[in-house]
Amino acid sequence: MAAGEFGRAVRRWRDRVSPEAAGLPVGGQRRAPGLRREELAGLAGISVDYITRLEQGRASHPSTQVVEALSRALRLSPDERAHLFRLAGLVAPGSDTAAGYITPSVQRLLDRLTGTPVAVYDAHWTLLVTNPPYTALMGDSSGWRGNERNAVWRNFLGPAGRVRHTPESRRALEAALVADLRAAAARYPADQRLRRLIAELHAQSSRFAELWESGAVGRHEAARKTIDHPHIGPLTLDCDVLTVAGSDLHIMIYTAEPDTEDAERLALATVLGTQTLVE
């Protein structure tokens, strides 16, 4: 890898992205209009130290996942993304691996849904990005690393989240996630990251192994969910999942029925969460 060229490209594109464009709060004086290293680190899910070493040419051979995360956080065009992969000595993932790249059209959609909780996952159900209302509703995921960012892994092996489940809804969600993951494995047979995820889940979760061996195929679909917010209390919301044709990105959107107590609580949670992020 031309480490110096890779680092200069990241720095140049980092300077180009304003915090407003990235959905970040703006506070205090800034020496440059672009993203700070710590802001890029939070958006990409990469440590500040590693980004510093990449930009200074002291780190080489970043993984495909790192380059994809930087491409997404820097809002690169398809040509710019391909160029960054070439600078890293890698080939951009093709159609036989799940995309971790948020297309410009999906990014524009996120930019417009500023008052609605939205998260975007890849075909593996690995979290790519959340907007501030989603963070306010579901909690801060910026510190999650590796499989911690994967919704399937978190449901089977991770800590409990804010969504309230009955035994029936838990079983239904688990079955839907495994079925969806099986369908993704069939669509992306060369995706080694997906194969490793499935192998780990199969080895460490007897429930996952049971569902996987059942052979079910399907998709995670819309549902009514109750979220236990630590400050607002319970909110019952509609959770819709939209899949982007051509990339299999999953867009998860939470909405409340207008003029209801849940709508008022969601609005309050969003305001409180935004204030917390600004502080």
**How far is the C-alpha of 35 from the C-alpha of 88, rounded, in Å?**
21
For 105-145, how does the pLDDT look when each residue is reduced to its tens digit (9 = 90+)? 888 888 888 889 999 999 899 998 898 899 999 998 888 88
CATH code linked to domain 104-278: 3.30.450.180
User: What residue ranges do the domains of the chain occupy?
Assistant: 3-87, 104-278
Q: What is the mean pLDDT of the chain?
A: 87
For 68-119, how does the pLDDT look when each residue is reduced to its tens digit (9 = 90+)? 889 888 988 878 888 998 899 887 776 677 777 787 788 888 888 888 999 9
pLDDT at 204 over 50: yes
Q: Which of 151-155, 181-185, 246-250 has the highest mean pLDDT?
A: 151-155
Buried b (16+ CB within 10 A) or exposed e, 200-236: bbeeebebbeebbeeeeeeebeeeebebebeebeebb
For 256-272, how does the pLDDT look when each residue is reduced to its tens digit (9 = 90+)? 999 999 999 999 998 88
- Contact by Cβ (8 Å): 218, 90: no
Share of the chain above pLDDT 90, in %: 43
Phi–psi pair at 128, nearest 5 degrees? -100, -45
Q: Does domain 3-87 have CATH number 1.10.260.40?
A: yes
Helical H segments across the chain, by residue range: 3-16, 37-44, 48-55, 64-73, 78-87, 104-112, 132-138, 151-157, 167-187, 192-204, 206-214, 261-278
For 220-256, how does the pLDDT look when each residue is reduced to its tens digit (9 = 90+)? 777 899 999 999 999 999 999 998 887 889 999 999 9
Tell me whether domains 3-87 and 104-278 share a fold: no
With cut-offs at 50, 70 and 90, classify the pLDDT of residue 27.
low
Burial zone of 156 (CB within 10 Å; 0-12 exposed, 13-18 middle, 19+ buried): buried
**How far is the C-alpha of 78 from the C-alpha of 68, rounded, in Å?**
11
